[in-house]
Amino acid sequence: MPVLRFDPFRDINRLANEVLSATRAPQPMPMDAYRRGEEYVVEFDLPGIEGESLEIIAEHNTLTVHAQRSPTKPSDAEISYVVAERPTGTFARQLQLGGALDADRIQAEYRNGVLTVRIPVAEQAKPRRISVDRGDEPRVIAGATEDSDG
């Protein structure tokens, strides 16, 4: 009994993906975003991406992340894929940054297939306590009273 069955549609689908991949729009990348203390953290799943292909641009309150994954094929052997499900090509994601974030201090790190971007909250947007002047002396409000006798 054969281990894999022949599926003619699989080969047609694979060929269509290879031909159309150059004209296809960038694929989105999965992400998580959360706030931790005085910064926002965004984590993108990018397994198999070479760090040199990553491009992060912050411009006009927009954060853009681009990545490229090339197909992995052995150069010295003729191969025929049995299953090819790992996406290749260009990946992109754009995030709108609010004015309360400090785009000048964004930091990024790529480790174990996860791109982590840290976006600090701007100083002017951080909550701050406002002191209330209570004064040292009691204030007396002077006023006249009317005499109702007369």
- pLDDT above 70 (res 122): yes
- CB neighbour list of residue 55: distance below 8 Å, 6 or more residues apart: 64, 65, 66, 67
What mean pLDDT is predicted for residues 123-147? 71
Q: Distance (Å, rounded) from C-alpha 131 to C-alpha 121?
A: 22
Q: Distance (Å, rounded) from C-alpha 110 to C-alpha 117?
A: 9
Where does the pLDDT of residue 19 fall: very low under 50, low under 70, confident under 90, or very high at 90 and above?
low
The whole model's pTM is what?
A: 0.66
Q: Which CATH number fits domain 26-74+83-125: 3.10.105.10, 2.60.40.790, 3.50.50.60, 2.60.120.510?
A: 2.60.40.790
Which of 15-24, 62-71, 81-90, 115-124 bottoms out in mean pLDDT, i.e. has the lowest? 15-24
pLDDT at residue number 78: 75
Domain ranges of the chain: 26-74+83-125
Interior CA angle at 147 toward 141 and 150, to 5°?
165
What mean pLDDT is predicted for residues 58-67? 91
Q: Distance (Å, rounded) from C-alpha 125 to C-alpha 101?
A: 8
